[in-house]
Amino acid sequence: MKAPILILLFLAAQVAVAQTLYSKRFKNDPHFPAKGRFNGTLLTTYSSVSPPPVLIGDVMFGVTNRFSVGMVGGTTGSLGLYGLKVNAALLEQKNFKVLFRFMSVYYPERDGMFLFDQDDEYVMPWMLSMAVMDAEWRLPNGLRWSLGMGLMETHCINDMKMWFGMEHDHSLHAEEDGHVGAVDSGALIDVFNTVQASVSIPLSKRVTLRPEVIAVFRGTELIEKGQWKVTFPVNPYLSLCYSF
């Protein structure tokens, strides 16, 4: 009789340990909700070009424990935006992870005023896509530090239409006006390199604060302010994530 009881106690202990490890693995992880669960995030940043508010939200769903997909939408202050996000864990150990993040965002056409921006401006529709690789370290106190590199590209929708033979007068909106998304460098696709660093700070069991800084390079040099659609060479972000 003692043997079955000892076996049951052993199995219960193993389940408890597994649940504890599972809980720590996904606790305060802004990129990977557990399988079948959701994360919701609000992000903001400071911009001296666009009027406030800069407010972008996304919802991520855990397809598996190592793969999540989601939708993003919001405003830069002078433009609206919406798109898709994908996160994948490529390598995962006890307190270390290598992850891949991809985001593609569409900025619709603006013609006139937008939100609190009272300037009468025209901005062509354009897209931004970003793919990055991050190395992440999880500390015993729950902090998650990450450092990585990536690629970013921007392109004008009208230029893409022209490339595929659809009717478009490329000369209509080729002047720079200093606003986000209004710069046309003349290239079909502009490609940049990025270096990013962040820290995920647990505020509670479900809430995580995540500051992040992304530096944007053209080749090996930081881009100049306002020269490209990306606008800033160094971009600080602050996000608040809630795990459902």
pTM of the model: 0.79
pLDDT in the model for residue 119: 85
The answer on pLDDT for 77 being more than 50 is yes
Please return the burial class of 11, using the count of CB atoms within 10 Å of its CB with bins 0-12, 13-18 and 19+: exposed
Query: Would you give the distance in Å from CA 220 to the centre of its chain?
Result: 23
Q: Which one has a higher pLDDT value, 169 or 87?
A: 87
- Distance, in Å, from the CA atom of 22 to the CA atom of 19, rounded to the nearest integer, reads 5
pLDDT in the model for residue 22: 44
Answer for the pair 203, 186: CB distance below 8 angstroms, yes or no: no
With respect to CATH, is domain 2-243 assigned 2.40.160?
Answer: yes
pLDDT in the model for residue 163: 61
Domain borders along the chain are: 2-243
Name every residue whose Cβ is closer than 8 Å to that of residue 136 and which is 6 or more positions away in sequence.
96, 97, 98, 99, 144, 145, 146
- Distance, in Å, from the CA atom of 92 to the CA atom of 88, rounded to the nearest integer, reads 11
Q: Which one has a higher pLDDT value, 30 or 119?
A: 30
Please return the burial class of 82, using the count of CB atoms within 10 Å of its CB with bins 0-12, 13-18 and 19+: middle
Q: pLDDT exceeding 70 applies to what percent of the chain?
A: 77
Tokens of 154: 């921007």
Other Cβ atoms within 10 Å of 56 Cβ, number: 21
Average pLDDT of the chain is 82
Q: Which one has a higher pLDDT value, 31 or 116?
A: 31
Query: Would you give the distance in Å from CA 13 to the centre of its chain?
Result: 39
pLDDT one-digit tens code per residue, 108-134: 999 988 888 888 888 889 999 999 999
pLDDT one-digit tens code per residue, 142-191: 999 999 999 999 988 876 666 666 554 544 444 444 344 444 444 578 89
